[in-house]
Structure 1
Amino acid sequence: MAILVTGCAGFVGAHVTKALIDRGERVVGLDNLDPYYDVRLKQARLERLCAHDRFRFERLDLTDREALAGLLDREADIAGIVHLAAQAGVRHSLVDPYAYVQANVLGQVTLLEAARRLRRLDHLVYASSSSVYGLNEHLPFRESERVDRPGSLYAATKRSAELISHAYGHLFGLPQTGLRFFTVYGPWGRPDMAYYTFAKAILDGTEITLYEGEGLARDFTYVDDVVDGVLRVLDHPPAGGDAPGRTFNLGNDRPEPVALLVSLLEQALGRVARVRRIPRPATDIEATWASVDAVETLTGWRPSTRLQDGIPRFVDWFRSYATAG
């Protein structure tokens, strides 16, 4: 049997793929190497994966229906899918909204239609986002809350994907679980994320931009904890009367001030940040905080990495990657 990972050259996708390989799974990885950010980083992640004989890579756009159907015909023994391919970036959705609808909505439909062709599908786990909580102000965010007030098009597309999965679960019995990731960070991360851009600016001696307000905080979640959560959930497919639209939060259950993130980066890099403050844009909420009680009840998962430990690990990788580049 095999596991299909979409977005395998992405940040979380590459880490999940490596963890699956390490535990003995055969993995088919799919990615279109979209140039939203430097493709060389995606290729470097991919090179590490291609060194393993239990991994096979397919360069393929998820919305290419014929190509995806052909892949699943050739890999008919796929029993699990981890769907991480997406157009990421909240603020970029203001610039290119069509890319988000194409990748996050049409991509979800295309994958689910293709998944119906598989002889045996034990579980499909897909990435959603904490952004679906939108303009909610009650903390911590719980899966039982209504999520019908998105604060960005990105959030709207991720919530749409959840609803589409609910429909396919109800109509066709596809066993699925959506995971709402909260501000994932760590080695091999995305260059558009705040912690990455802050680290580069501090190292280069250029300004970083912080939003005004004392309450700005994020539930920063270390990538190894997220990977552990993904694999645990994958191993616990819905059964019996489980709701077809099952979703769980994967967060650190510990919102930290963005100011602390900057301080930890300064300590790890040995340099002082140059800070410019601007008003917080409408796409960004003041704070995020994940309740993880539901996923802990199902799988026993809880995050274990503090920001004080995770940031130095990221900086160690960042220094070596920046030097190598």
Structure 2
Amino acid sequence: MIFATSPESVHVRAPGKINVFLGVGERHEDGYHALATVFQAVSLYEDVIARHADDFSITVSGVDDADAVPLDDRNLAMRAAKLLATAAEYRGGVALEIRKNVPVAGGMGGGSADAAAALVACDALWGTGFSLARLHELAARLGADVPFALHGGTAVGTGRGDQLNPALARGRFDWVLVTSDEGLSTPVVYGRLDALRDEEGALADDPPLSLEVPIPVLQALRSGDPHQLAETLFNDLQAAAVYERPDLADTIRLGVRAGALHGIVSGSGPTVALLCAGPEIAQEVQSILRESGLDPLHVHGPVPGARIIS
């Protein structure tokens, strides 16, 4: 049902994310892997504007390659809008305008942020009045990262990453993100991880596989101390991402030499996340990396999830 006072348009902003910790279990028969991860929402945002329409459509700006973002049902935001319409028995459509800032195929959940923003925007535009818990249920049907983009902050994700529990993170953590023009396919990275694990000893030097987030990670977040958190950063997918893109390891080493405390590949990559001791150090690292020909971004976290801004 649509409210009589429904606005002409709704503008929602949703954050990208990094994985402070990511443990990946063995591949299940359904093709998915069990995960234990810590998400942190960072100050790099996707903007979605929803307007009334008879049908469903999407326009996208902020990407160099027009073909990089699908405009049909392959787009998570489109699927989110249609899912909400079905759940609410809404018979109209929506015109979605997506303004992208999170790298496409960068392991930072930009598409998931679009989906979360679309859910919030369409709910407000159509006056469906769904609770946050109901929106979470719909988000979980769209993908593992969508529920987190809805809530933001810092959270522990288990299952496929969609079973969320808030994690206390005091203060502010400053990150320098190094993006890449060339994306990495998430299925390819997971497939490479499986192949590496099939090769005896390929990951022998890695920490033991665990599907629980280690206590020191949560303690470091609670402390608000970036030095303590730097010692606990870990990503099970990093070896696979570096196998596909060896230059990512070079970027991490360069960032640490520039002054970062530590760095990891974010999610399935190729974005590299470098944790810094504070905003001033992050700005220095950003400047040095830019002089090296890279495209670094200074962000901070945690920040809130999908929010209406107008």
Q: Which has the higher contact order (CA 8 A, sep 6+)?
A: 2
Considering fraction of residues, name the structure with more helix.
1
Considering fraction of residues, name the structure with more strand.
2
Structures share fold, TM-score greater than 0.5: no
* TM-score, normalising length: structure 1: 0.27
* TM-score, normalising length: structure 2: 0.28
